[in-house]
Structure 1
Amino acid sequence: MRFALTSEAGLNDGLAFPFINLAIALTGGGVAGLSLSHWIAIDVLWKVAVGAILGAFVGRGLGWLTFHLPNVSKLSRTGDGFVALGVTCLAYGIVQAVDGYGFVGVFAAALALRSSSRGHDYYRKMHDYAEELERFLMMVLLVGFGFALSGGGLLAGLTWPAAAFVALALLVVRPLSGWIGLAGSGLPTDEKAVIAFFGIRGLGTVYYLAYAFGHAPFEAPDLLWATVDLAVLVSIVMHGITVTPILRFLDHRSGRDTESGQLEIPLEPRIL
């Protein structure tokens, strides 16, 4: 479940970009005379393919440097999880430099790096470092988000139709589309329900909305910001309160503790 949600979050960050570019182009802020074929060929196929292929190449190369150099030279000897951040920045920068989607590149690089030497203990160190860094940055973002909500009037432009849209997205569209997407996966019903329900937090949408506003004029920006901010706020509260007890319950029922479940490591049966 955790791997599915993490993978989906990483991939979604990249696959949202074609639709942002389409919205920008439709307002006149993008390519003049944009055609559907041009959008599919360049913004969908080309940039996604560049991100996936080049990101995988970067991940493979870094995997070789990390695990397969002579023992005195390979990066895994350092025991430093900071390599995880370096992989992220390097893959993103290289893919962006050739006009691909950097987020897709990072996702592909992570998968390729992981496949370089499965089972190596160094992955745990990289995972732990990345998780600690993510928690720190998330805390900073949430504190800033809270200040903006309380003193910046982010929800001032909210309307009842916008609030209804947020409720529909969180409670109907996301769970239903997630459930359909998992059809044929073979997962137990309760795990499919968890994956389908969780996932939205939406802080990445803040970046995309700011990017779109920086490239094209959109109508009712206050309404758009208020809608996104409400979705983020409701998701943080609703999913944040429910995720820990639900995952702990499923971990306990499957005979796996929550900490080890984070890495999907099966444990030996416990003696109660």
Structure 2
Amino acid sequence: MIENYNVFLLVCGIAFLFGALFPVIFRRLPVSLPMLQVTFGICMGYWWTSLSFLDPIDNGFIIEKLTEIVVLVSLVGAGIKIDTPLKWQNWRTTARLLLITMPIGIFAMAFLGYYAFGLTMGAAILLGAVLAPTDPVLAASIQVGPPNTGTEDTSRFTLTSEAGLNDGLAFPFVYLAIKMAEAHSEGERFDSALFWSWFSHDVLWKIGVGVLVGVLVGKFLAKIVFSKHTCDTTLSQGYVIIALTLMAYGLAEYVDSYGFIAVFVAAFAFRRSECEHEYHQKLHDFAEQSEGLLMSLVLVTFGIFIGQGLESGVELTWKVYIVSFVFLLLIRPIGGLIALSGLGMHRNEKYAISALGIRGIGTLYYLSYALNQGYFAEDEAIKLWVVCSIVILASIFMHGLSAPKLLKMTPKPKPLN
């Protein structure tokens, strides 16, 4: 990679140019920006044969940290732009997707991973855990608009809030997979004592403390930003966004809880403080720009990785394609429809929310994080990377083509209450 550093910068520059020109040149075409950037990366990876192979296992630490930053920026951006107040009537659709749809996705994919690909139980659960959460980065185009726009339709709000929360809520199952793999590697049985240790610490403690940290950090920073001493001055939105993100994430991880949950909750808590203030728009704009730049870098690199795999002749069995499309076309939509049944929603809203479960950069983070712990066999790690890469690639194109049409079918937004 080092010897091709300057050329790699040129490739990234072209990808950023795509992002700048996309609203002008490509808006009439049925393509999304992620589709365009991944395709560009695939072409580069396939034809640029002098580039060193981007091995995801050897470069696992770099992938983990890069994707972690992208997800964090996306989470804080998602939390800041939500206008909908915290009321059960408004958030019940999100709660159902988190408590019903996500577990269905986890265990259905774990079942397929165990029986279709011959994975161990730990690796199978990891496959389900990394693919179950929807992606807050690639889902930006189907989320709610900037703050204080006046209305938010149910579909976009639900997809935004789901993507903001389920990244953190998938972590307990990632840890479950890691602990099962650790026990398996040491020749031990994952018994009830280990299960209770996981449930009490990785589920109850980490989720609860993560939410608490998020609320405290969000309210604390809002108190400073909107105080009588600073509200009339121009505070740099960049500093505030980075402070909000890193303080929430750093404190949550320091007290051994989930930083992803803390970041989204902190951003939402900050948003609900002086919620009509125009400063939220500035914060949203900065977060959106930062997220777009980082997303472009990751998507082009991901495309190069896919292109190199195609050029090197990586064998993809029919099971990979079948399982990927079963997950995207059946498991997620059916799980979503089950969760949303009985709510009295318009059927088009239910179908749009259920069908638009985009997978992406969050999956890359979780997978690299888990594999970096060193408890999974290399052959299983390769299988996991292959399956997840195909699911992400298929999701980018499938949802990129279908999202505009599905969202146009939903009812017009109603005023917030």
Deviation at 1:175, TM superposition (A): 1.0
The match for 1:189 is 347
Structure 1 residues 18, 108: CA separation in 2 closer, same or farther (over 3 Å shift)?
Answer: same
The match for 1:81 is 237
The match for 2:175 is 21
Query: Which residues of 2 match residues 65-104 of structure 1 at below 5 A?
Result: 65-67=224-226, 69-70=227-228, 72-74=229-231, 77-78=233-234, 80-82=236-238, 83-104=240-261
* 1:29-50 deviations in Å (ceiling 9; x for gaps): 6998662111110010001111
C-alpha distance in 2 between matches for 1:132 and 1:265: 28
The match for 2:385 is 225
* 1:136-156 deviations in Å (ceiling 9; x for gaps): 211111111111111145982
Conservation of the 8 A alpha-carbon contact between 1:95 and 1:101: yes
Task: Supply the RMSD in Å over aligned alpha carbons.
Answer: 2.5
* 1:12-69 deviations in Å (ceiling 9; x for gaps): 11011111111111112699866211111001000111101111111111111122x1
The match for 1:11 is 165
The match for 1:259 is none
The match for 2:59 is none
Unaligned runs of 5+ in 2: 1-154
* 1:225-267 deviations in Å (ceiling 9; x for gaps): 00000000000011112223443x347x63x7xxxxxxx988x
The match for 2:330 is 172
Task: Give the residue type in structure 1 aligned to 2:234.
Answer: T
Structure 1 residues 185, 88: CA separation in 2 closer, same or farther (over 3 Å shift)?
Answer: farther
Conservation of the 8 A alpha-carbon contact between 1:158 and 1:223: no
Which shifted more, 161-170 or 147-156? 147-156
Conservation of the 8 A alpha-carbon contact between 1:176 and 1:196: yes
C-alpha distance in 2 between matches for 1:99 and 1:57: 16
Structure 1 residues 187, 163: CA separation in 2 closer, same or farther (over 3 Å shift)?
Answer: same
Structure 1 residues 227, 26: CA separation in 2 closer, same or farther (over 3 Å shift)?
Answer: same
Conservation of the 8 A alpha-carbon contact between 1:166 and 1:227: yes
TM-score (norm 1): 0.84
2:206 is aligned with 1:52: no
SS in 1 for 2:175: helix
Conservation of the 8 A alpha-carbon contact between 1:85 and 1:130: no
Q: Percent identity?
A: 40
Unaligned runs of 5+ in 1: 257-263, 267-272
* 1:146-179 deviations in Å (ceiling 9; x for gaps): 1111114598253322322211110111111122
Task: Give the residue type in structure 2 aligned to 1:138.
Answer: M
The match for 1:261 is none
Query: Which residues of 2 match residues 118-157 of structure 1 at below 5 A?
Result: 118-152=275-309, 156=314
SS in 1 for 2:182: coil
C-alpha distance in 1 between matches for 2:225 and 2:344: 34
Match of 2:273 among 109, 116, 119: 116
Structure 1 residues 61, 155: CA separation in 2 closer, same or farther (over 3 Å shift)?
Answer: farther
TM-score (norm 2): 0.56
Query: How many residues matched?
Result: 253
